[in-house]
Amino acid sequence: MSTFQDFPIRWGMVIDIDKCTGCGACVVACNKENNIAPQENQLQRIAGKGFPTRFKKIEWLTIYELTDGSDTAYLPRPCMQCGMPSCVSVCPAIATDKNENGGIVSQIYPRCFGCRYCMASCPYHARVFNWDQPVWPEGMEKQLTPHTSVRSRGVVEKCSFCHHRLMYAKDAARVAGEDPEKLPDGAYVPACGEVCPTGAITFGDVKNPEHAVYELVRSPYTFRLLERLGTDPQVYYMSKRAWVRLQGDNYLANEEAQAGEGGAHHG
Amino acid sequence: MPFFIGFVAILLVGWWWFPRVLFSVEQQPLRFSHLVHVDDAGMACEDCHYLNEDGSFSGLPSTESCAECHTEAMGEDPEEQRFIDEYVNEGKEVPWLIYQDQPDNVFFSHAAHAAQDCTTCHPDVGGSDTPPLHYRNKLTDYSNGGYRIVFGRGVGVDPAYSRGTMKMWECERCHAENGQSNACYVCHR
């Protein structure tokens, strides 16, 4: 198994599931920020099937509903920007890579030829495929942002932690005469984190003690999705509810009591 | 002899005829003179091309900032009068042609390259009275970078680099030579 570099900066997102109301503002903000087109064709295909198919709607950030029968929780799922990304090692075109300080997994759309190995390998279903050429209803093309390039039919796309915002934050630091590699807490926050009305999404460098996420990832209530696969995600979840933490991974019956206590290993 | 004639003919086709067919030639919408602004008006480059406080780069001045001086004609030049009539009074931006326009998926930061000389990438137009012609590749829509092409090569271009809009290998080489990261997301978005 190939190993990936450990970078001095590790951009991480901490999502407090107990604060998330499932309102979907993060999804809308993400779609607008990253030029994701409304997808009539996909919606029709999904409606025709009546169940989720591989023709799923293109979303970089999807909200899942969790339930234990009586209680409900919502789990927003961006790309995990894994420390050991399974998508990168399977890509035959090096269209996706993890090679930049900060650890954000890149996706270069013109380089991708749509084989979708990365989608098959991603345990989080964070990647989506463009089955159709994106079509914006008349007038909506004026709302396209210059931040993210639009993707054509036939390529895979995924969340980039709004990487352009990191670039803008670095540029602002350069002009202000500060070190672009030592951004203060809050200088770089993805669109979903900025828009979240309940403040469920915290973002920062988990290796930097001056950032709020540094403390949060060390909380006993913090867990990561499918942690035991060894993908080392850079997205962390928090919940004081043991059943929510239990659903973050697959546990055998004899492991559940131990895992539910909290204090799951993280790093 | 037939070989020689054929040889010359093919060279002419490759060096002279084909570039002429491949590139369309456009003139800037206005004959903007850097010379007048720099020499006669004594303006500095940074008066129009500057970094904003938020880190973004203000490459082309807006009609509004031009109108700070040009509400009325300051000289005799008919082009200036045309600028005032067609753009200032109409409240329109000039659709300048960009010689070094990068595609949508490239993130270029002027702030990160502020220590470089502008003419490393851009044609040296600072002393020009007439802006260079804009050659556009009809197949790719890329500009040739504002250089005049003679015998298939741009005039005044460093032979180590290609003519035209900067290619990915040129960015990568300079990054490698200067010890900068060549990670994908350093330049792409």
Q: Are strands A235-238 and A11-16 parallel, antiparallel or unpaired?
A: parallel
Which residue's entry shows tokens 């490698």? B176
Return the pLDDT at A261: 59
- A159 contacts in chain B (CB < 8 Å): none
Q: Return the residue in B184, B186, B187 with the most chain A beta carbons within 10 A, the one to mutate for interface testing.
A: B184
Return the pLDDT at A33: 94
Quick check: B84 pLDDT over 60? yes
Smallest CA–CA distance from A171 into chain B, residue? B55
Inter-chain residue contact A175 with B112, CB threshold 8 Å: no
Instruction: Indicate the SS3 state at residue B7.
Output: helix
In a domain, A2, yes or no: no
**Out of A100, A110, A168, whose CB is closest to B55?**
A168
Tokens of B11: 């060279």
Which domain, by its residues, includes A112? 11-258
C-alpha span between B80 and B71 (Å, rounded):
10
Percent of the residues in chain B that have a pLDDT greater than 70, as a whole number? 90
Return the pLDDT at A48: 80
Kindly report, residue by residue over B10-49, the tens digit of the pLDDT: 999 988 888 788 888 888 999 999 998 998 888 998 899 9
In a domain, A263, yes or no: no
Inter-chain residue contact B107 with A167, CB threshold 8 Å: yes
Domain ranges for chain B, please list them. Answer: 2-28+100-187
How many Cα neighbours within 13 Å face the side chain of A119?
Answer: 19
- Residue A153 maps to which CATH number? 3.30.70.20
C-alpha span between A188 and A203 (Å, rounded):
8
In a domain, A1, yes or no: no
The ipTM is: 0.84
Q: Euclidean distance between the first and final Cα of chain B, in Å?
A: 55
Overall number of domains in chain A: 1
Instruction: State the average pLDDT for chain A.
Output: 90
Quick check: A55 pLDDT over 70? no
Query: What is the least distance, in Å, from the CA of A186 to any CA of chain B?
Result: 15
In a domain, A167, yes or no: yes
Smallest CA–CA distance from A176 into chain B, residue? B53
Return the pLDDT at A260: 58
In a domain, A79, yes or no: yes
Q: How many CB atoms lie within 10 A of CB A211?
A: 22
Chain A / chain B CB contacts < 8 angstroms? 71
Inter-chain residue contact A172 with B105, CB threshold 8 Å: no
What are the phi and psi torsion angles at A97 (to 5°)? -155, 160
In a domain, A237, yes or no: yes
What value does the mean pLDDT take over residues A54-80? 90
Q: Are A237 and A222 in contact (CB under 8 A)?
A: yes
**Out of A164, A169, A172, whose CB is closest to B107?**
A164
Radius of gyration of chain A (CA): 18
Residue A186 backbone class (left: φ over 0; alpha: ψ -120 to 50; beta: rest): left
What are the phi and psi torsion angles at B146 (to 5°)? 85, 10
**Out of B109, B114, B189, whose CB is closest to A163?**
B189
Non-local (6+) Cβ contacts of A256 within 8 A are: A246
Inter-chain residue contact A99 with B184, CB threshold 8 Å: yes
Q: pLDDT band at residue A267, thresholds of 50, 70 and 90?
A: very low
Return the pLDDT at A175: 93
What value does the mean pLDDT take over residues B44-64? 91
Inter-chain residue contact A172 with B53, CB threshold 8 Å: yes
Return the pLDDT at A116: 92
Query: What is the least distance, in Å, from the CA of A244 to any CA of chain B?
Result: 34
C-alpha span between A16 and A237 (Å, rounded):
6
Query: What is the least distance, in Å, from the CA of A193 to any CA of chain B?
Result: 19
In a domain, A116, yes or no: yes
How many Cα neighbours within 13 Å face the side chain of A174?
Answer: 18
Return the pLDDT at A264: 46
Q: pLDDT band at residue A218, thresholds of 50, 70 and 90?
A: very high
Kindly report, residue by residue over A133-178, the tens digit of the pLDDT: 999 999 998 999 999 999 999 999 999 999 999 999 999 999 999 9
In a domain, A266, yes or no: no
**Out of A101, A150, A172, whose CB is closest to B104?**
A150
What are the phi and psi torsion angles at B23 (to 5°)? -105, 130
Tokens of B183: 């990670």
Non-local (6+) Cβ contacts of A31 within 8 A are: A59, A60
C-alpha span between A201 and A75 (Å, rounded):
11
